[in-house]
Structure 1
């Protein structure tokens, strides 16, 4: 392969795939895209198979983080920090919720100095990316959506009854049913809806499928997979430090690629600060402590980490929630195979199956074929299917500070233990009975979305192959505890308002019930809810703000003090958006591509943003 390109992009994820695809719309522009993972596996396309992609070193960086004020009950006391390690990055690993955020989020960014990042500024990029498919169940405002963009945005089909019931129950507590990606989001009393998801025809629409897969046919785009990037190559140019390329390693050994115009780092809120630090860009004293020469002293690299946290409230819901038997059946015969399922581990042993097993196999084949040919069925979403956004009234008046998600199934003990690190034997009185795969459960997920606590990403070692140290620092600010308790109470209110007489009592881990003198049928105390959150709250996988605009990059995403280097991903958000973050990451990729194009005369097919001042720091 060539060793010199116009642009070198690090990370083929939610933003990087977008930047690479857009810049190579100009046939005269040569781009090299470096990705540590490889192409996504077949299961990535199947929305309901999402949990299988975590804890797989082929698709997940499998980072761990210190949870700070939570995680007391998690296995090992460490929070999982899944990050996508494949083409498409975390857009191939996430639960596919498509949420722009509250308009006030972006207006507050702009008011704080992020010129060009107000909601009016960023909306054209959301619309440019979006290929929205309406459905009567969404109550959508079609004028608020883009319909011709590459990212599929739709609602699962058929809609699950339990998800509609969640929306109905939220309405009974005062929530308006509407389109949370429209002006309905401005209602402080809240908006309830089925989730809009990044799916197209029932399949995941990651940035790999939406942007990169078609762009890889272009001769001017080189994609290198299996590439562990070790550092950005920085050279002194008089009094200026300039990024001139990237050093990386593959199975074949070390390599280096040069960029004549810019290096664009799109490695995410964990990977981007990690790479800058490895490259000598960050707090001088910290870099010196681990043996990295400091080239540019930027104290805020890796600081100001924000993440969302939700506390699962699980309810027995026979006849309401989807059983794991039905979910597995809908994923095809392979999901029914031993050791977890009743079919033989080896398909060759299916000869002379007993009639009940033969019928189960035939039904599983019918369902997966239906999904494959029509996009319909249980396989067509992650089962994270409905949501509420509202304001608690406890502060952050510019936005909604609360989100409550709804998961229409209860999973299995191995998933809770291996994927979520929640020990079934401690959380449930009788996990095998409660989580019997033939029984229905639902999970309501209270989630404060404007945390005040901040964490950090720092170097644990100068070795690029060593993971960084991630301090999530949840609940460091007491405000976050207060909001979490309020959102948990609202979630319980929705559960009580469930059609048909309510959902009943949530699961309260026996050891916490005993410690707080809690009796079944009583409302849990604030102290019990806080303890539940401190033991079993989980990340929502929304890490942001570790290279934020103002401190590490300017509003055009140039890294301070370094020419020809930008960062474009979740790390540049001045603050986390009030909702799931993937849509905003795609928007950042779209906006970054246009800013680069304006600065350097790259000819994109369409330009949707207003022409703010172009600079080439």
Structure 2
């Protein structure tokens, strides 16, 4: 291509799409946005189809990582590390939970040296992004929400009874029912609620749909898909290094380069951004040399301090409470009912002479799909990750809530457990086909410590950009995280016992662990059993952060230390992971970064809130 732009942005994900859309509000500013993936597929728009987007090389980088102190029961002992590979990035494959974090998270950032990142200073950017849709099912703190931003934020319709039962059960354990994105997040006793989700009219509101899609025809915005970034082009040496462009590999294996007259903005995420910096010669000198990369700037913290959240699935039989997979599949439309997994023929052309029961099932699936598409209502309108509770265990991190418990209103299929979650059903369930019978209902409660003390790393496995980086997640390296996990699992069991109607009964305990610990149904699991369940079957919550964190790799203005004209803006810059799902905070970072850039270089944005 060889063109010159004012700004070259690497990554069209949760932050990069925001930066590109905001900077091109000024018609005199030329932006090139590079993305390794392509446009999102139709399934991306349907919240309930979320699991289908993982393990698909067209939408997911399909990374895996060394799980450290967990993963003993996972396929190959490796943890999945899904990252979005399309316009919209991980906002297109996530479970759409809209959670800002605890106000104390951001105040701790500022107190630790991230000047300008306190809660009062970041709140305007959350509000700038938010298009909140009011619902009688929520108790919103109206001063903490805005309804005119591009990102849809709403609750599903209709509300699932199981989700309100989870909130009621959490309330029975002493938590307030309220707005976890408002003042109620400061409640010492915790807060429970239906999830606010990044959806609008029952459709996913990724940063592609919210920011990019409406502006794709701007003459000053060039979006290049299928662009695998190989390195940031750096010029100079010593104390005078500057970024001048980006070199990338095209879909057909060719090589291209674009120049940046003002800045390169790296928005490739907590895995991708350190990987690109390392490939560019920015990182620890000895590690770069070991991978055959010449060190341009010795910045040892690149790829360090990786934080992520873990939850341990506690699954319960829940007929009459949860949603069956038969009902979920029916709501996804006829294609979800096709062979080999479903009763309809694999080829729609073979539907001509369907028996009456199958013809009726197809007609009902078509009706539900049409209802969702036209009204945004129905089971398809949510990922079924539907409700949440936040609280403090009392074990530390007093500035915030250190615990989150999510609720999944369905149980999924054996295939999803193995292929997506990497948990072998034959090890986790005594009889997976019987327990996960698609006509039976289950629910999953997901205890999740949200202030992990353990830190992992992202390092180079090769100097070739096409080779994934080495991801060492290092879960449970700090014994504190084990204690908190067990405490949060105990609280999850307390919520299950407080379930309206007499409790949910026993959770699924994998047979081999039940035998090892002498556990019998109807008895209290020991701390040792709960820890062993976590060490075998805890799963990432897909919240990698902090690998280019403010203070070590970038300054509070997000400028890379030691390099002029290079900035990072994504989850990697978080000084510490927020106490909750990370996508909302990443979008906020994109909004704040765009204003920082605009202020420094005289870019005219439609609205300034900082």
Q: TM-score, normalised by structure 2?
A: 0.99
**1:2, distance to aligned residue in structure 2 (A):** 6.0
Q: Separation in 1 of the partners of 2:424 and 2:287?
A: 36
CA contact (8 A) 1:7 1:259 kept: yes
Asked if the contact 1:50/1:95 (under 8 Å) is kept, the reply is yes
Corresponding residue pairs, total: 609
Is residue 591 of structure 1 aligned with residue 598 of structure 2? no
Deviation of the 1:142 alpha carbon: 2.0
Paired position in structure 1 for 2:177: 177
Other structure's SS at 1:262 match: strand
Residue 274 in 1 paired to residue 291 in 2?
no
Corresponding residue of 2:265 = 264
Q: Contact 2:2–2:257 at 8 Å: present in 1 too?
A: no
**Displacement of 1:138:** 1.2
Instruction: State yes or no: 1:528 paired with 2:515.
Output: no
Q: Distance in 1 between matches of 2:564 and 2:215?
A: 28
Mapped to 1, the partners of 2:332 and 2:239 lie a distance apart of: 59
Deviations 1:117-150 (A, max 9, x none): 0000000000000000010111112221011000
Partner of 2:30: 30
User: CA 1:457–1:237 in 2, change beyond 3 Å: closer, same or farther?
Assistant: closer
- Within 1, Cα distance between the matches of 2:567 and 2:285? 20
The aligned residue for residue 142 of structure 1 is 142
Residue 13 (str. 1) matches residue 13 (str. 2)? yes
Aligned counterparts of 2:366 and 2:128: Cα–Cα separation in 1: 38
Q: Distance in 1 between matches of 2:3 and 2:81?
A: 33
Matched residue, 1:133? 133
Please list every run of 5 or more consecutive structure 1 residues that lacks an aligned counterpart in the other structure.
610-617
Specify whether residues 516 and 18 from structure 1 end up closer, same or farther in structure 2 by C-alpha distance, changes over 3 A only: same
Kindly report which structure 2 residues correspond to 1:81-480, keeping only aligned pairs within 5 A, or say none.
81-236=81-236, 239-252=239-252, 253-480=254-481
Instruction: Check whether the contact 2:237–2:296 (CA below 8 A) recurs between aligned residues.
Output: no
CA offsets per residue over residues 21-56 of structure 1, 9 Å max, x none?
000000000000000000000000000000000000
Residue 612 of structure 1: aligned partner: none
Contact conserved, 2:239 with 2:562, CA < 8 A, in 1? no
How do 1:470-549 and structure 2 match up within 5 A?
A: 470-549=471-550
**What CA deviation, in whole Å up to 9, does each residue of 1:415-467 have, x standing for no partner?**
00000000100000110000000000000000000000000000011111100
| Alpha-carbon distance between aligned partners in 1 of 2:18 and 2:219, rounded to the nearest angstrom | 17
Q: Deviations over 1:74-113 (max 9, x none)?
A: 0110000000000000000000000000000000000000
Distance in 2, Cα, partners of 1:531 & 1:325: 32
Between the aligned partners of 1:388 and 1:43, the Cα distance in structure 2 is 29
Partner Cα distance (2:411, 2:520) in 1: 23
| In structure 2, distance between residues paired with 1:478 and 1:310 | 16
Q: CA deviation at 1:238?
A: 8.0
State how far apart, in whole Å, the 2-side matches of 1:189 and 1:401 are: 12
In the alignment, the residues of structure 1 paired with residue 466 and residue 424 of structure 2 have an alpha-carbon distance, to the nearest angstrom, of: 30
CA–CA distance in structure 2, aligned partners of residues 357 and 38 of structure 1: 36
- Paired residues of 1:134 and 1:142 also in contact (CA < 8 A): no
Aligned twin of 2:45: 45
Q: More deviation in 152-161 or 234-243?
A: 234-243
The question of whether the paired residues in 2 share the 8 Å contact of 1:180 and 1:191 is answered with yes
Partners in 2 of 1:385 and 1:283 — Cα distance? 42
TM-score (norm 1): 0.98
Contact 2:291 2:463 (C-alpha < 8 Å) held by counterparts: yes
Deviation for aligned residue 1:217: 1.1
Give the Cα–Cα distance (whole angstroms) in 1 for the partners of residues 366 and 123 of structure 2. 42
SS at match of 2:233: strand
Asked if the contact 2:65–2:79 (Cα under 8 Å) also holds between the matched residues in 1, the reply is: yes
Give the distance between the partners of 1:132 and 1:507, measured in 2 at CA.
Answer: 37
- In structure 2, what is the Cα distance between the partners aligned to 1:277 and 1:120? 34
SS at match of 1:138: coil
1:544-583 deviation digits (Å, cap 9, x = unpaired)? 0000000000000000000000000000000000000000
Structure 1 residue 379: deviation in Å? 0.1
Superposed displacement of residue 215, structure 1: 1.5
Runs of 4+ in 1 over 4 A off after TM superposition: none
In the alignment, the residues of structure 2 paired with residue 221 and residue 469 of structure 1 have an alpha-carbon distance, to the nearest angstrom, of 33
Over residues 469-528 of structure 1, what are the superposed CA-to-partner deviations in whole Å (9 max), with x where a residue is unaligned? 000000000000000000000000000000000000000000000000001100100000
Q: Distance in 1 between matches of 2:127 and 2:446?
A: 28
